[in-house]
Every structure is written in structure tokens, then in C-alpha cells.
Structure 1
């Protein structure tokens, strides 16, 4: 089944965005005619150098069709919005360490963050999908070599700073509460059995239904509990093997996570199938070079600010920027743009100024377009925009930021001219979206 059918452009009027406003004129006492010269209220976006990039909203160019696979991707994005980020637990956890989506077609992916021994529990209880996130008090080491010994791999096998405190939260949805409960018990039992002669069972006073264990002398512990149709696993580690400290951190993570799930009730297969792919009209305003939309929990999705923070390295800086300017939605489009919706036009201007302050090394912006700034940055600093081009580690990427009305957008490319064309097209798209 095709996800999109391209609409015919026959009979559709292209909306120009050159708005002409008459200058205010004084009137004579007898009510004479107004006088004055017309002035441009907006630039004429039809004159922008946009290359081959589209400037019409995607829903004008194509029609979305619901499918089970696309619904699952939207459901994963929704779940990411309801999994804690570092600052939700404590401001000191301001470094993102992992964001991983997983679905029922690849339960093995869960073992990239959980113990390999838990996979049978996920399969036998019908795991539907899940999301895992981790945060650290210190930046992750640049080297991201993977090592998966079979026990917990909270950072997808990457090694963290031994002087850091870290946590990982994995939330998995199951078909019903009974299977979620069984899965949680079996997950804990399977992980405990990996080193049964060394592990010790422990309890959490503030989450008495959680099953937990640690290995004396090792500065980490894990706990798992069922919460409705969800199974929630929490892994914590600190520089020293202090059981009280580890227990307290795990309880703090659970306390931040569980209320978020109260606001995101589990979905039935029918509800997953019918999820709205663009309920706030964000994706239609986001630069999307392709002629169709295929949902992806990271590269083609709409998120809350929390969901977006999973893909930002410096979570404290980006959380502050979004909080201060009332950002409520963030969208991304594969090989396209990243779009923020701020409280109002004034807040968007402040957000744009703040985002510009996160980069240096300014380069030439596209000509004759207001409120656009570009800079050269290492590809590692582009975050979710890595999905907007083919990244090469260590390469220079050109990043352009712009604002229009209450929206702030970012685009990226390894080629400056391409980044400028993307920025021009994104600006024109935001203008055109006001009328289409």
C-alpha cells in the first residue's frame, strides 16, 4: 500500500506571498482621499534561490494514508515524549547519553540497553514497542566503541565516564497489564540469573512493587516494575558502590518517570493505526524535500520539547531555551528541516537569538532573506539534524537558523550553497503555509 498519493496541481492556485500594504495617510477635514505609496510588508519569497527544494506544504503536495507500520512509528514518537530526560530527575543530569526506539519486530534491539537474557521475556509477553533514554552528569567520552558483554548495556554498549553519575530508563508497552506484570518479573529474574551467585536482591521503599538487585562492590544497580501496560526498567550508576545512594537515585528516577506515563495512556492496536501524523500542523511547515511522508520516531516526527531533548547533547541549555520562550512543539523531516514553535513572534525572535548563540564561526547567509544566520560546525554538533544530510564524523557542516512569525527553523548540509537553499526554501515554506 502506498503511504501517499501525489495530488494533481491542476486547478490549484499558487498563493503568492508578496503582501502590499498602503501607507497610512492623513485625511482632509472634508474626508478627502488617502494618499501615500505602497510598501512591502513581506519579502517576495518567489524570488528566493531555493534550488530544487519545495516551498509548498507537504499536505498540499501529497496525501497521507494510515498503515500499521507508520502508526507504530508515531506511537514511538509519542512514547519518547513521555520518557524522562536528565533535568526531569535532577539538573545535574544535563548530558544526553542515549535515545533508542524499539518495536515488536526487533525485540533484540532492546538488548542493546538491557541484558541479552531478557529477550525471551519480551517476545513471550508480546512486547509492542518501547523507548530507552539515558542521561549523565558528565559528557560521554568521544570514543563510542561498543562492548556488549551480555549484561546491562545502558548506553548501547558505549562506556561512560567512571566519575559520572548516570541513569537509564527503558519503558516497554505490552498488550495488557497482566503481560506487563509477567514481563517485568521475568526481566528481573533473567537479569539476576546472569550472575546469581553474586547478585543480591534489594527493595525500594518508595516503589515497593519494583524488583531490584545489585552486586556488592559494583557501583550500579537495576530495578524493574510493571505500571499498567508498561514495564519500566531503571538502571543507575555512581562513581562509588554506595547502595543507599544508588537506591535513592533509582527511586528519584521512578518518581519522575511514572507520572509521565499517567499522561500517556497505553495504546490499543486500533488507536496506533489511527494516530494523527501531524495534529498541530508542524510537519506541513517543516522543509520536506521528498514527495511523501513516512513517519519515523526521530527523523520524521512531531515531538514535545521533552521528546526533542532526547536528541540534544546539552540538555540543560536546550531545555532553558525552549522553556524561556514557550516552545510547545518541535518537528523534524528527513533530509529537511527542524522546526520549533514558540509562544509568539517575540518569543520566536528571542529563541532564534539564543540558538544563534550556541554556535560560532559565522558564514554567509542566503542573500536578501531576513532573520537568517549560518555557521560552520562539526557534524557532531548538529543533533537530530544529522538526519538532514549524509553525516561524516569530524566533517564540517553548514548550519542555518531562521525565524518567521512564531516559528524558528534550522537546516544543515555539508555544502554551504545547499544549506543556503534549504534556509531559503524553509523561510518561503513558512510564509506560504500561512495561506495554504
Structure 2
């Protein structure tokens, strides 16, 4: 493939949007052994679960976003292929976003074969490599990127209405990509995957592979530091060894099933602080993921992957103002919270005195997405993280988040 504009996956851990305030309403009563959350200083933040003021409306457009999240939970992570492939990018896409996500050249093919939705992910061993700068040699950006001598792969998986449409789309995509430089490209076969269609340009350290699998079609691009075809084929095989069985286990969705998808299946967005009382879904702000999908969109959290797995954190809700995790049980939540802020990215910060089971840190590197202070709040088997550039605001967010968790029971 040539190039595709992709969102960076350099989203900071537990980022939140700073938005204007709204009125606060504190409800609920304390159970035995719990504080009365009405006594907490929550500022202007709401303290009721989102269902108190927002009702999700099913639509096909919303369903496509939810289907993309479901797909993300079943796409290969770079670290599954090689622990060094821990940096990356991602994007989800539906037909109306094809020019942005896939480039203008592919748009007619995907429309013709009625692509329903898709998700892209790329992984590299170089932090600043753009995994979707994939032009074979005649693109200046790609040449600059390849000067980093990365090992990487980028994969785009799309669902079509049926197997015939997926197979025809894959064939057309390969034909179009090969035709970019037919006098220089050479066909490549993968012994393990005879159904795959692949090509490379000798002297350029990349290879493109297209393969249909049931109702899914995948576009895979791989790259290694030097133009070694054997290494490229080996990397492609290792990616497909993981990806194709995962697709075999993921039943494709009918349009009606897409329409009726649940936007909060684990009921975690329900428990997230939501200052503006906003709905979703949006794949990076109002999203419900399994652990693998979450690690696609928050690559910096891969350092904590073992912590998630050991404590049964299988579902994550990325809300507008907080990220909410559900652990196996209360004890697992306590262990998870203890390890969550360990690592070189964090420095110490005092927790709020009045909010139970809360820890805070100061992020050593900040940006528009990474606030200066983050606090984790634990309630039963749930742990939520809120962030702010101001410590007092972080305290009020933590207090409101604790109240939301308590009031959601």
C-alpha cells in the first residue's frame, strides 16, 4: 500500500478532556462501612451514573463504531508477534471515512463490495516510526521513515457482507496496489498461506499482503531494516499465524446485528465520571473495550499488561472524563490499583484526604492529552482514573468519581 493518514496511538494514559462545568447532583446513601458520598467536595462535577441523564440511541452509524471496537479486541498486537514491537498507531473506520482512513484509491473498491466497517493497527520497534507510511519507495515521507530502519507491520481488517464480497475486494485491492508500479513490483507467494496475494519491490524493505478470511479481508504491510524477502515473508507469516485464527473465532455481523450492538456491554461507561453528560460511542473517548482493544488504543499501557491479566481486568471503559477498569474481585482491584501507577512515567503526589481508596501521581511528561496529575479511585471491584492539570481539580474529580461508582451500585 502507499500511504494512509492514521491517528497516532500516542494517547497518554488515562487522559481526559477539560471542558466547561455543569451542575452537580449528589445522590445515594452510604452503606455500612462506607462514607456518605454527599459529604465529599465534588465541586461542580456530577455524581450520578450516566444513565441518570443520558439514554443511548441505536443507529447504524453508532453500530459501525461499536463493531470496530469489537474488531479491535480481536486484532493482533505487536507484542504478540515480538516483544520489541510495542509502539504503534491505530484507527477505526466506516464507509463515510474511507478517504481519510484508506486513501482515495481504495474507496471505489470498498464501496463496490459494500465494506461495513474496519479497524487498523500498526506496530513497530521504533517509537517515532509512523506505521502507515507504507509507500514502496517513491514517497518522500516513507523514505524518511524507513531511514529509521524499523521492523514493523500494519494491518487493516474490514468486514464485508459475505465471503464472496470479501474475496473479490481482496483480489481488487491487490491488483490495484500492484498496478502502482507494475514494472517494478514482483509477485510473492506465502507457502503457509496460499490464499494470500502478496508483492514486493526488490531493493525496498517492505511487502504487501492481501488475504480474505470468511467475510473479512485483511491488508497487511510488513517492513524490516533491509530488503530481505525471507525476513519479510517470515514476519508476515508470524502476524497471520495470530491474526487469522482470531478472525475465524469472530462471527461476522449482519447489518441488523451491527445496528443492535450494546454500547456499554460491561457497564463501565455507566460508572465513568461524565462532566458534560455526553454520550457516544467514540472510539477514543466513549468506548468499551476488552483488554486487547484497550492496549491497541493505549500502547503505553502495554507495560502493565501482566498486571491487567493477573487481576482479571478484561474490560475497560474509556469515558469522557475517566477510564474505568473492572477487576476480578475487590482484592484483585486493590492489587491492580497498587501497581497501576508504578513506572518511570510517574512521580509522587499526595492523595485527597477525604476520598477513600484513592492514590495520585504527577505525570513527568505532560501534553494536551496527558494532564499533570492523575488519581486512581477504587470502589469494590472497580478502579477509575481521572486527570487534571490542577491538583485541587484532580481531587474534586476523584471525589465525584468515587460518588459515581458508589451511586452506580
TM-score grouping bracket, smaller chain normalisation: 0.7 to 0.9
Quote the residue 2:350 is aligned against.
Answer: 364
Distance 1:157 1:173, change over 3 A: farther
The correspondence of residues 24-63 of structure 1 with structure 2, limited to 5 A, is 41-63=33-55
In the alignment, does 2:322 pair up with 1:337? yes
Quote the residue 1:408 is aligned against.
Answer: 383
Distance 1:98 1:156 in 2: 15
User: Which stretch of structure 1 is more off in the superposition, 160-169 or 219-228?
Assistant: 160-169
Quote the residue 2:112 is aligned against.
Answer: 124
Quote the residue 1:387 is aligned against.
Answer: none
Counterpart of 2:309 (choices 309, 317, 323) is: 323
Quote the residue 1:204 is aligned against.
Answer: 190
Quote the residue 1:165 is aligned against.
Answer: 151
Quote the residue 2:179 is aligned against.
Answer: 193
In the alignment, does 2:64 pair up with 1:72? yes
Quote the residue 2:405 is aligned against.
Answer: 430
Task: Compute the TM-score of the two structures, normalised by the length of structure 1.
Answer: 0.81
Distance 1:181 1:277 in 2: 30
Q: Mind listing any 5+ residue stretches in structure 2 that lack a counterpart?
A: 1-25
The correspondence of residues 218-257 of structure 1 with structure 2, limited to 5 A, is 218-257=204-243
- Work out whether residues 42 and 399 of structure 2, in 8 Å CA contact, stay in contact via their aligned partners in 1: yes
In the alignment, does 2:93 pair up with 1:98? no
CA RMSD in angstroms comes to 2.7
What is the Cα deviation at residue 270 of structure 1?
0.7
What is the Cα deviation at residue 376 of structure 1?
2.4
Counterpart of 1:350 (choices 329, 335, 359) is: 335
Quote the residue 2:266 is aligned against.
Answer: 280
What is the Cα deviation at residue 379 of structure 1?
6.0
User: Which stretch of structure 1 is more off in the superposition, 315-324 or 195-204?
Assistant: 315-324
Quote the residue 2:4 is aligned against.
Answer: none
- Work out whether residues 76 and 243 of structure 2, in 8 Å CA contact, stay in contact via their aligned partners in 1: yes
Which has more radius of gyration? 1
What is the Cα deviation at residue 140 of structure 1?
2.5
Aligned residues: 383
- Work out whether residues 140 and 160 of structure 1, in 8 Å CA contact, stay in contact via their aligned partners in 2: no
What is the Cα deviation at residue 147 of structure 1?
6.9
- Work out whether residues 401 and 410 of structure 1, in 8 Å CA contact, stay in contact via their aligned partners in 2: yes
Distance 1:318 1:219, change over 3 A: same
What do the CA deviations read for 1:241-286 (whole angstroms, capped 9, x no partner)?
A: 1111110110111111112212321111111111111222211111
- Work out whether residues 346 and 364 of structure 2, in 8 Å CA contact, stay in contact via their aligned partners in 1: no
Distance 1:158 1:432, change over 3 A: farther
Distance 2:124 2:376 in 1: 28
Distance 1:340 1:201 in 2: 46
Q: Which has the higher contact order (CA 8 A, sep 6+)?
A: 2
What is the Cα deviation at residue 148 of structure 1?
8.3
Distance 1:288 1:375, change over 3 A: same
What do the CA deviations read for 1:289-310 (whole angstroms, capped 9, x no partner)?
A: 2334221122111100000001
- Work out whether residues 348 and 360 of structure 2, in 8 Å CA contact, stay in contact via their aligned partners in 1: yes
Quote the residue 2:19 is aligned against.
Answer: none
Distance 1:159 1:428 in 2: 47
Distance 1:227 1:151 in 2: 29
What is the Cα deviation at residue 105 of structure 1?
0.7
In the alignment, does 2:286 pair up with 1:311? no
- Work out whether residues 121 and 187 of structure 1, in 8 Å CA contact, stay in contact via their aligned partners in 2: yes
What is the Cα deviation at residue 93 of structure 1?
1.9
Distance 1:265 1:160 in 2: 37
Counterpart of 2:100 (choices 62, 86, 109) is: 109
Distance 2:52 2:249 in 1: 33
User: Which stretch of structure 1 is more off in the superposition, 206-215 or 175-184?
Assistant: 175-184
Distance 1:92 1:163 in 2: 14
Distance 1:266 1:396, change over 3 A: closer
Distance 2:189 2:244 in 1: 17
- Work out whether residues 151 and 194 of structure 1, in 8 Å CA contact, stay in contact via their aligned partners in 2: no
SS at match of 1:188: helix
What is the Cα deviation at residue 158 of structure 1?
9.0
Quote the residue 1:133 is aligned against.
Answer: 121
Distance 1:53 1:161, change over 3 A: farther
